[in-house]
Chains A and B, each alone.
Chain A
C-alpha cells in the first residue's frame, strides 16, 4: 500500500451503501465518456499503465467503480497519480477514452476539494499571470533571445472570470 495520495486505499472490508446510476450517467457525459459502459474488464489499461505498481487502486478498477456508480472513486489515488500518458486510451480494445475520462474525474474531485495542494497554486498563477512560470530574463539576455512577447493579462482574466475558474468549489 502506498501513501503518496488519496484516502480510498483498498476494497478490503469495504461495504458500499448504494450504486448510484446517476453518477455513472454523469461520468458517461464527460468528454471522452461516451463509451464508458463498453468496458469488459480486460485490464489491458492497467497492464500498460506506468503507475499500476505505484497506486492502491488501478485504472481498470477505477473503470469498474464508475460502472458501479461508486462515488468513492474520486478519493482513489489513481485519479491524481495518472501521468496523463494516454497509453491506456491508445490500447483500449473497446476504444474507451480512458485518460480523457480521468481528466473529467479530476475536475469533479477538484470541485470537492479532493486535489493535491499544488493544483490550487497553479490555478492562482494561471489566473493572475496567464502563465505557470515566468521567463528567466538573464538567461535569455546571455543567449541573445528577444523578450517573450507581452501578454495582456486582462484578456485572459476576463475570460477565466467568465468560465468561473476561481469559483469551482461546490461549497463556495
Chain B
C-alpha cells in the first residue's frame, strides 16, 4: 500500500539545502511514498523559539500539527530540528493539560485545534521500515564508501520523545546505509552534538565542537560524513570548509545527505540528487558515487 504524508520541510532546507529536498523527493518517488505539500506551514519554532518563549513555541508548532490533523494527514519531515520540535510539542501537549488548554485557546480563533491524532515521523524512520524493499531495489553498490554517520541529537534524544532508535547505540540508519555496500565506521564522537544550535550564541564554541567531531571522523578512517538534518549539515557542509587541525592538516570530508547515498544506490540520476549544491568538494568519493 502506498504510504502518504504531508511533508514538513521547515525553513533551513528550502533556504540552504534544496539538494536534501530534491533527493528526498526522488527517493520517495522511487519507493512509491506519496509526499503531499504542507500548505500553510510556518517555521517549526525549533530550539530557537523554545529558548525564547515556550508558550509561543508550543503555539507555533502546535498550529502546524493542527493543520495536518484538520486535513486528516500524517506528517513526515526530513529535518531533525523539525522532527524534535513537532514531536516534543506533541509530547508536552499530550501530557500537560494546562499547556494544551493554553495552546488551543490561541489556535481557536484560527479555526484550529490540537488533538494529537496525526503521526509525526522522520523520513529515515519511513525508510528504515522499508529497508527490505530498498535492498531489493539496489542497482549500484557503494563499496569503498566509508561513512561517519552522524545521527544528530533530536532524531534519538530524548528517547522518551523521539522513540526511534537506541539513544546510546543507534544502529538503524547505519543499517540502512550499509544496505548499499557502504561501511559505517565506528567513531568516538558519533553521538556528540554537531554544535550547530550554538551558531546563534557563539560561533567559536560551535566550531570547537565541529573540530572535535572531524578529528574523530578522520581518525576512524571515514571518507565522508552522512547526515539526515539540515542544521547538522550546516556544520558539516558550510562551517567545515577549510577546517584544519592544530598542525594545519585539512580535516575536510565530503558531507552527504542520507537520501543522496540511498538515491545513488537506487540508481537515481545525479541531477535530482543535487550533488552540484554540495559545498565541500566531493572529489575524494566521485568514483564511488559514479558522478
Interface residues of A (CB under 8 A from B): 2, 4-5, 31, 50-51, 54, 80-81, 83-87, 89-90, 97, 99, 103-104, 106-107, 110, 115-116, 118-119, 122-123, 126, 130-136, 139-140, 143-146, 148-152, 155-156, 158-160, 162-165, 168
Contacts and interface: CB of A to CB of B under 8 A. Distances in A.
Interface stretch (B33-41, B139-147, B174-182, B243-251): B33-41
Contacts of B63: 155-156, 159
B51 interface: yes
Given A130-B42, A159-B106, A84 B202 contact: no
Given A85-B193, A103-B54, A119 B159 contact: no
A135 B15 contact: yes
B16 A143 contact: no
A80 B12 CA distance: 21
B198 interface: yes
Interface string B50-70: 111111100110010000000
A110 B21 contact: no
Given A146-B37, A149-B40, 5 more contacts: A50-B193, A119-B51, A145-B25, A160-B59, A162-B59
B18 interface: yes
B114 to A, nearest CB: 12
Contacts of A159: 59-60, 63, 106-107, 110
A126 B51 CA distance: 13
Nearest to A106: B51
Given A31-B92, A149-B38, A149-B39, A87 B191 contact: yes
A122 B48 contact: yes
B283 interface: no
Contact of B195 (A50, A123, A132): A50
Contact of A145 (B22, B42, B193, B271): B22
B48 A163 contact: no
Contacts of B192: 50, 85
A92 to B, nearest CB: 10
A144 B48 CA distance: 31
A19 B23 CA distance: 55
A146 B25 CA distance: 11
Contact of B205 (A4, A150, A164): A4
Contacts of B22: 143-145
B167 A90 contact: yes
A80 B9 contact: no
A144 B50 CA distance: 34
B200 A119 contact: yes
Given A122-B48, A156-B60, A133 B54 contact: no
A136 B37 CA distance: 17
